[in-house]
Every structure is written in C-alpha cells, then in structure tokens.
C-alpha cells in the first residue's frame, strides 16, 4: 500500500513538473510592444528634451574662424589624409597601396551633408572607416569637419568671382 502511495505521489509530481512551463514562455504583451489593432505606441517616444542617462546631449559646432580652420587642417593631415588625401579626393597613400578608396568629399551626397555628419563619422566610423573617437578630441572633430567644408568649397570655387590679386596668386 505504501508503495502505491509513493508511486502515485511520484507520478503526480512528474505530471505536475511536466505540465509546468516557465512564465517567460507564456503569451503576454511586452512593455514596448504594440497591441493588436494599434498602429503605434504613443508611449514609446520620450517627452521633448529628455536625454537618457548614458546619452550625451548632441554637440554643437563652434564658430568657424581662422584658428579653428588651421587646427582642422593640421588634424586632417594627421588623421584623414592617409586615406582621403590632402585634397580630399579619396586617393591617399593608403589607397595607393591597395586599400579600398574612401568616397571623395566632392561627390554630391557629401556636398549636401551637414557638418554634423562628418563629426558623427569621425566619432563612430562609417563603412570601412573605424571610429576615431578615442584618437580625435571632440573639438578637433569639429575643426576637421570645418576644414572639410573648406576643401569642398575650394573645389567648387568660381574663378570669375576672385579679385585680380587672388587670381595672380593662383598662377
């Protein structure tokens, strides 16, 4: 009799364990999941001006002046010119040695990009380019972005708009 009770208890225990399922596998709505019939969850977007604890506010560019551009040229020649070339055409020494060519700064897509794009690419990398966040200080990233704008403007400058003194310097 005692064996039957033990066997029955054991059988009930096995059946109870087999029928249990982890709560994680049960159907439920997740915190940011859209309910059936709902097109979007209005609670997803944080209120305006809210920044996550780990997130930094977006950096703002400094005013462009001659010292900033000179610093940008210096930093560009150190960090960017090996791949992008000093002229920004994407044919630097690294490319001449067989590495993939980066895009020229003079293509239409990059001519219309805001300066923030260049800052972000230096910070996070893009395509084959890795992040320079640990090598280039944020102020220098803005200086490089400003210098890239100068390179772009130099390639699309209209010679007819130059003064006679400036034209003489070009010769």
Question: What are the domain boundaries of the chain?
Answer: 66-156
pLDDT tens-digit series, residues 73-101? 999 999 999 999 999 999 999 999 999 99
Fold of the domain built from segment(s) 66-156: Cytochrome Bc1 Complex; Chain D, domain 2 (1.10.760)
Output the CA–CA distances (angstroms, integers) from residue 21 to 8, 11, 12, 31, in the order listed. 22, 18, 16, 21
Instruction: For residues 18-47, give the mean pLDDT.
Output: 66
Helix axes 138-155, 115-124, angle to 10 degrees: 130
Residue 39, pLDDT > 70, answer no
Q: What is the pLDDT of residue 142?
A: 96
- Residue 50's pLDDT band, with cuts at 50, 70 and 90, is confident
- Residue 163's pLDDT band, with cuts at 50, 70 and 90, is confident
Q: How far is 22 from 60, CA to CA, in rounded Å?
A: 49
Of 105, 120, 117, 121, the residue nearest 154 (C-alpha): 105
């Amino acid at each position: 009799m005692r064996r039957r009770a033990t066997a029955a208890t054991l059988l009930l225990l096995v059946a109870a364990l087999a029928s249990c399922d982890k709560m994680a596998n049960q159907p439920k709505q997740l915190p940011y999941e859209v309910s059936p019939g709902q097109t979007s969850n209005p609670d997803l977007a944080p209120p305006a001006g809210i920044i996550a604890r780990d997130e930094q506010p977006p950096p703002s560019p400094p005013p462009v002046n001659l010292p900033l551009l000179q610093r940008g040229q210096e930093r560009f020649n150190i960090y960017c010119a090996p791949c992008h070339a000093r002229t920004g055409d994407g044919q630097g020494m690294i490319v001449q040695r067989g590495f993939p060519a980066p895009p020229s700064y003079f293509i239409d897509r990059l001519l219309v990009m805001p300066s923030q794009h260049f800052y972000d690419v230096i910070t996070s990398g893009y395509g084959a380019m890795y992040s320079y966040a640990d090598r280039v200080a944020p102020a220098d990233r803005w200086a490089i972005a400003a210098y890239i704008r100068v390179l772009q403007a130099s390639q699309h400058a209209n010679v007819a708009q130059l003064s006679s003194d400036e034209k003489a310097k070009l010769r």
